[in-house]
Amino acid sequence: MWYNGLLDLSVMQLVLVALGLTHITIISVTLYLHRHSAHNSLDLNPVLAHFFRFWLWLTTATNTKQWTAIHRKHHAKCETEDDPHSPVVLGIRKVLFQGAELYDEAGTEETLQRFGQRTPEDWIERNLYSRYKMLGIQLMAVLDLLLFGVNGIWIWAVQMMWIPVWAAGVVNGIGHFMGYRNFECSDNARNISPLGLLIGGEELHNNHHTYPNSSKLSRRWYEIDIGWGYIRLFQLFGLAKPKGYRPIAHYVPGKQEVDVETVQAIANNRFDIMRQYRKRVMEPVLRQQKSLMDDEIRPRYRKIKRLLSREITLIKPSEQAHLESALESNMVLRQIYEKSHELQELWRRRGLKPQEKLHALMEWCREAEASGIRYLEEFADHLRAYSLRPSS
Ligand SMILES: [Zn+2]
Ligand SMILES: [Zn+2]
């Protein structure tokens, strides 16, 4: 039929085509704009990088410099008035439904100057992509109509909605609003789902804010980052190279001695250390104490569990009262809570000399061992095994 366009596809085929086209767009955003351009955590072959840039011009009218600058500013000013898209500051509705408008507002000359370094300013950028920003999506509309006939109209509409909804809305909104936290990074970032398939792995937003320089966004064995799958695939053909960033820290089984390197390794690996503290000390102790807690606290058990390990700057005043009352009525909880903050002093306090930090850690371990709390004793033992070098 003439109205089905040159390809004359069935409905099923059209749906698959729409999903395929938008998938390429998502991969372009996560690999090229996000991991390569904004965070410099991934090297891309120039031809592949240019393909992504061209594809984003064609399907989203996105400018690399603008996107990169706004995103870097988001990390630098996270959850403050200057964050271009924080649901904590602006409210979830605004970020979820007006995510794309927020990008338009945020792309000021000052932001581009300050945060837009190392982005393309070549001939084709000046004379085509930036100069005729909307021409790409207009061309796409013509292509869709030619190939898919009248169905090209909705395919094009889906393409135009995909990034504003999934990236600007869901990742920037939900990713700072609800979901689980592997790590207590200093902002409100959350993992939306352990399966990073639909939005290219960007679902794992808490992992990303904790380790922004890592080109791999999954951290636990059950998490999937499809973007990382593509990076590995491109790497096989020599088209991509992750710069990879892992905190320098090794666990050396059997190591008993605390030394300056132990302190350094723990500080490097602090987000994971605090996660382990939550799993190995806080949660089992809390389970143990549950039966001893009075009737007032027991119904708030889950909330208290969450607050005990919450990054301190993220605890709201109303939550502070819950936490205080739980800590006041249970000495063991208070003890493990205070020990967690004493441990964090090792990297939070500025200006301490390595030797002073070493003494602080040794003292921490000594007190943990004398605490009479088995989980705390075991954790002190566990910390001692950290080093900057793997076991030889
Ligand atoms: Zn974010
Ligand atoms: Zn980022």
pLDDT digits (tens, 9 = 90+) for 85-104: 999 999 999 999 998 899 99
Determine the Cα–Cα distance for residues 25 and 51; give it in Å rounded to an integer. 11
Residue 67 CA to ligand 2 center (angstroms) comes to 11
Mean residue pLDDT of the chain comes to: 94
pLDDT tens, residue by residue, 208-247 = 999 999 999 999 999 999 999 999 999 999 999 999 767 8
pLDDT at 123 over 80: yes
Q: Are residues 232 and 335 in the same domain?
A: no
Number of domains in the chain: 2
Indicate which ligand has the atom closest to the C-alpha of 78: 1
Instruction: For tokens 């937003």, name the residue.
Output: 205
Residue 166 CA to ligand 2 center (angstroms) comes to 15
224 — phi, psi (to 5°)?
Answer: -120, 130
Give the residue-averaged pLDDT of 255-270: 92
Residue 353 CA to ligand 2 center (angstroms) comes to 32
Residue 175 CA to ligand 1 center (angstroms) comes to 7
Q: Are residues 182 and 36 in the same domain?
A: yes
Indicate which ligand has the atom closest to the C-alpha of 214: 2
Q: Is residue 392 part of a domain?
A: no
Outline where DSSP puts E strands in 178-311: 195-196, 224-225, 240-242, 250-251
Question: Interhelix angle for 270-277 vs 260-268, to 10°?
Answer: 90
Residue 6 CA to ligand 1 center (angstroms) comes to 41
Q: How confident is the model at residue 294 (pLDDT cuts 50, 70, 90)?
A: confident
Q: Are residues 225 and 261 in the same domain?
A: no
| Contacts of residue 136, Cβ cutoff 8 Å, sequence gap at least 6 | 57, 58, 59, 61, 129
Q: Are residues 81 and 148 in the same domain?
A: yes
pLDDT tens, residue by residue, 31-72 = 999 999 999 999 999 999 999 999 999 999 999 999 999 999
Residue 219 CA to ligand 2 center (angstroms) comes to 16
Q: Are residues 168 and 304 in the same domain?
A: no
pLDDT at site 121: 95
pLDDT at 183 over 90: yes
Tokens of 79: 């959850």
Indicate which ligand has the atom closest to the C-alpha of 177: 1
Q: Is residue 128 part of a domain?
A: yes
Q: Is residue 343 part of a domain?
A: yes
pLDDT at site 38: 97
Q: Are residues 68 and 185 in the same domain?
A: yes
pLDDT at site 301: 85
Residue 262 CA to ligand 2 center (angstroms) comes to 30
Give the residue-averaged pLDDT of 116-134: 97
Q: Is residue 349 part of a domain?
A: yes
Indicate which ligand has the atom closest to the C-alpha of 172: 1
Q: Are residues 360 and 255 in the same domain?
A: yes
Residue 242 CA to ligand 2 center (angstroms) comes to 15
Indicate which ligand has the atom closest to the C-alpha of 72: 2
Q: Is residue 344 part of a domain?
A: yes
Residue 208 CA to ligand 1 center (angstroms) comes to 8
Indicate which ligand has the atom closest to the C-alpha of 34: 2
42 — phi, psi (to 5°)?
Answer: -145, 125
Q: Are residues 187 and 334 in the same domain?
A: no
Indicate which ligand has the atom closest to the C-alpha of 212: 2
- pTM value is 0.90
Domain boundary among 217, 242, 267: 242
Burial class for 371, CB neighbours closer than 10 Å (0-12, 13-18, 19+)? middle
Indicate which ligand has the atom closest to the C-alpha of 179: 1
Q: Is residue 234 part of a domain?
A: yes
At 283, which amino acid appears?
A: E
Give the residue-averaged pLDDT of 155-167: 95
Q: How confident is the model at residue 253 (pLDDT cuts 50, 70, 90)?
A: very high
pLDDT at site 120: 97
Domain boundary among 242, 272, 295: 242
Q: How confident is the model at residue 248 (pLDDT cuts 50, 70, 90)?
A: confident
Indicate which ligand has the atom closest to the C-alpha of 29: 2
Domain boundary among 242, 259, 291: 242
pLDDT at site 245: 67
Q: Please, are residues 100 and 53 in contact by the beta-carbon 8 Å criterion?
A: no
Indicate which ligand has the atom closest to the C-alpha of 85: 1
Q: Are residues 158 and 45 in the same domain?
A: yes
pLDDT at site 246: 78
Residue 367 CA to ligand 2 center (angstroms) comes to 39
Q: Are residues 261 and 212 in the same domain?
A: no
Residue 302 CA to ligand 2 center (angstroms) comes to 30
> Any idea what DSSP says for residue 204?
B
Residue 33 CA to ligand 2 center (angstroms) comes to 9
Burial class for 265, CB neighbours closer than 10 Å (0-12, 13-18, 19+)? buried
Q: Are residues 178 and 262 in the same domain?
A: no
Percent of the chain predicted with pLDDT > 70: 99
pLDDT at site 84: 96
Residue 293 CA to ligand 2 center (angstroms) comes to 41
Determine the Cα–Cα distance for residues 151 and 164; give it in Å rounded to an integer. 21
Residue 136 CA to ligand 1 center (angstroms) comes to 28
Residue 346 CA to ligand 1 center (angstroms) comes to 26
Q: CB-side exposure of 344: number of CA atoms within 13 Å?
A: 20
Q: In 235-248, which positions are buried (b, 16+ CB within 10 angstroms) versus exposed (e)?
A: eeeebbebeeeeee
Q: Are residues 277 and 307 in the same domain?
A: yes
Residue 357 CA to ligand 2 center (angstroms) comes to 31
Residue 347 CA to ligand 1 center (angstroms) comes to 23
Domain with 184, as residue range(s), is: 2-242
Residue 189 CA to ligand 2 center (angstroms) comes to 11
CA distances from 162 to 26, 156, 157, 170, 266 (A): 8, 10, 9, 11, 41
| Least confident piece of the model among 57-71, 144-158, 204-218, 312-326 | 312-326
